[in-house]
């Protein structure tokens, strides 16, 4: 039954008068493409994206710590958690300085 339906739809279906190449051409926002052009992104783009994610993760860890500072003071552990956060930020700062020194942010 399925095969018969496929054959009948092929035989009885409407025909397009548009060329096959024109049907397969890319079309976006009402503008025909001037041709196939694949743009390559520089590696620096991905490096900046990864660094953005790393510093976003830093913010994710920094925000709950900042909200909980009052609880740390009440428990008498404020100095310990402050030192822990300073060490965390120092490690990230060393990584940031290394990236600047290597020229990761220079677009040539």
What mean pLDDT value characterizes the chain?
80
pTM: 0.53
User: From the CA atom positions of the chain, what is the Rg in Å?
Assistant: 29
pLDDT tens readout for residues 61-94 = 888 888 888 888 877 888 888 888 899 889 888 9
Q: How does DSSP assign 15-49, residue by residue?
A: ---S-HHHHHS-EETTEE-SS--PPPPPHHHHHHH
> What does the angle CA 105 – CA 107 – CA 108 come to, to the nearest 5 degrees?
140
């Amino acid at each position: 039954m399925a095969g018969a339906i496929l054959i009948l739809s092929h035989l009885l279906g409407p025909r397009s008068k548009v060329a096959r190449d024109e049907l397969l051409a890319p079309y976006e926002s009402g503008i025909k493409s001037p041709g196939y052009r694949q743009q390559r992104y520089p590696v620096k783009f991905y490096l900046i994206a990864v660094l953005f994610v790393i510093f976003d993760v830093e913010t994710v860890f920094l925000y709950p710590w900042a909200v909980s500072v009052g609880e740390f003071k009440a428990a008498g552990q404020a100095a310990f958690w402050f030192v822990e956060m300073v060490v965390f930020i120092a490690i990230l700062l060393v990584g940031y300085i290394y990236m600047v020194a290597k020229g990761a942010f220079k677009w040539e």
